[in-house]
Amino acid sequence: MATRNKTPTQGTRERAIDRLEKDVEELRQLAGSADGEAELERIRQQVAELRREFYEHLGPWQRAQIARHPQRPYTLDFIGLLFTDFVEMHGDRGYGDDKAIVAGLAKFHGRPVAVIGHQKGRDTKQRLARNFGQPKPEGYRKALRVMKLAAKYGRPIFTFIDTQGAYPGLDAEERGQAEAIALNLREMARLPVPIIVTVTGEGGSGGALAIAVGDRVNILENSFYSVISPEGCAAIMWRDSTKAETAAVALKITASDLKELGIIDEIVAEPEGGAHNDYEEAARLLDVVLDRQLVKLTNEPVKDLLEMRYKKFRDMGQYFDFG
């Protein structure tokens, strides 16, 4: 898990689990007798139970830290594990190529599809090249170019969301950041092919929504999706970014909150301890969901598909007080 901004209880419990895991490793190296192996297995089960209990009771802020874990699988990781024959496409044919967005054509279970997603970096060099996963207008225009190409040839579209938000710099604003996001929202609402969206890390504001208008919106269980980051909300509401944990609770950003509010359609389970602990298992769990949803959506008439997609997003956020 990420080490920043942990609560004292969270940090203490995590350190206890880490110590037990080290003890297990030391015992594994020393164990040779049957009694030693039995004791080792008992401790291993104890560690597994502690870890399971720890992750089941995480609060919104702690889950946000897992969503931001630097070793969490990114779009290119999922592409490598879920798709075959991936061909990346570059540039928006207007300004340049934004590496914060990965887009291209591939095959999913043998079927031609388009894949688009945010891409962060692992080290400083990669993060700078990917602009920390914050797209500029050319990134969204590149995404839309690939989506329109997919629609032209009847290819379903998969998108993967993991960004703090669209890049807020002056150069992005000068090149029409807001217009690029708005255009994507409009065009995705009427693309005549199935669109399946998955939030794999942090889903931040319009920067996420610009490639997240779909027929199905999924979220990995430790991811979050919000109109603003907890730190940003705390800075605005209380003028104190250290109250991010309080803001995270108020924003209802977790997968279970979003499911209850009707913002997302399905929560995808993660391997024990989070997706960053087992990429292959995380991809396997997601693959089952994506395959099932694609089969269902493929059988829907285009007219019905578009009507349901439009209604899905129009219905969000409507509340009535009958008191």
CATH of the domain at 285: 3.90.226.10
Segments forming the whole domain that contains residue 114: 65-314
Judgement on whether residues 82 and 50 belong to the same structural domain of the protein: no
pLDDT in tens, 106-160: 999 999 999 999 999 999 999 999 999 999 999 999 999 999 999 999 999 999 9
Asked whether residue 118 falls in the same domain as residue 181, the answer is: yes
Domain assignment of residue 3, yes or no: no
Over residues 90-95, mean pLDDT: 94
Contacts 24+ apart (CB under 8 A), 45-52: 46/20, 47/17, 47/20, 47/21, 48/272, 50/13, 50/16, 50/17, 50/20, 51/17, 51/272, 51/273, 52/272
* pLDDT at residue 87 tops 70: yes
Same domain, residue pair 88 and 43: no
Q: What is the pLDDT of residue 32?
A: 56
Q: Which two tokens stand for residue 62?
A: 């702690």
Report if residue 320 sits inside a domain: no
Distance between CA atoms of residues 121 and 200, nearest Å: 15
3-state SS, one letter per residue, for the chain: CCCCCCCHHHHHHHHHHHHHHHHHHHHHHHCCCHHHHHHHHHHHHHHHHHHHHHHHCCCHHHHHHHHCCCCCCCHHHHHHHHCEEEEECCCCCCCCCCCCEEEEEEEECCEEEEEEEECCCCCHHHHHHCHHHCCCHHHHHHHHHHHHHHHHCCCCEEEEEEECCCCCCHHHHHCCHHHHHHHHHHHHCCCCCCEEEEEEEEEEHHHHHCCCCCCEEEEECCCEEECCCHHHHHHHHCCCHHHHHHHHHHHCCEHHHHHHHCCCCEEECCCCCCHHHCHHHHHHHHHHHHHHHHHHHHCCCHHHHHHHHHHHHHCCCCCCCCC
Q: Do residues 234 and 297 share a domain?
A: yes
Q: Is residue 94 part of a domain?
A: yes
Q: Does residue 262 belong to any structural domain of this protein?
A: yes
Residues facing residue 87 across a β-bridge: 105
In a domain, 1, yes or no: no
Return d(Cα 7, Cα 11) in angstroms, integer: 6
Evaluate whether residue 323 is within a structural domain.
no
Same domain, 129 and 34: no
- Cα diameter, the chain: 70
Angle formed at CA 19 by CA 269 and CA 29, multiple of 5 degrees: 100
- Distance separating alpha carbons of residues 243 and 237, to the nearest angstrom: 9
Q: State the pairing for strand pair 111-118/101-108.
A: antiparallel
Counting Cβ atoms within 10 Å, is residue 270 exposed (0-12), middle (13-18) or buried (19+)?
buried
- Domain match, 105 and 48 both: no
131 and 32 in a common domain: no
Residue 131 shares a structural domain with residue 192: yes
- 287 band by pLDDT with thresholds 50, 70 and 90: very high
Using the Cα atoms of residue 54, residue 197, residue 264 and residue 249 in order, give the sign of their dihedral. Answer: positive
Does the pLDDT at position 50 exceed 60? yes
- Residue 107 pairs in a beta bridge with 84, 112
Count how many domains the chain has.
Answer: 2
What average pLDDT does this structure show over 259-269? 93
CA 234 to CA 240: how far, in whole Å?
6
Task: Give the type of residue at 172.
Answer: A
Q: What is the pLDDT of residue 1?
A: 39
In a domain, 319, yes or no: no
For residues 38 and 134, membership in a common domain is answered with: no
321 part of a folded domain = no
Q: Are 93 and 17 in a shared domain?
A: no
pTM exceeds 0.85: no
Q: Are residues 35 and 74 in the same domain?
A: no
pLDDT digit string (tens) for 145-201?
Answer: 999 999 999 999 999 999 999 999 999 999 999 999 999 999 999 999 999 999 999
Mean pLDDT of the chain: 87
Whether the per-residue pLDDT at 33 is higher than 60: the answer is no
Same domain, 33 and 142: no
C-alpha 316/C-alpha 319 separation (Å) is 9
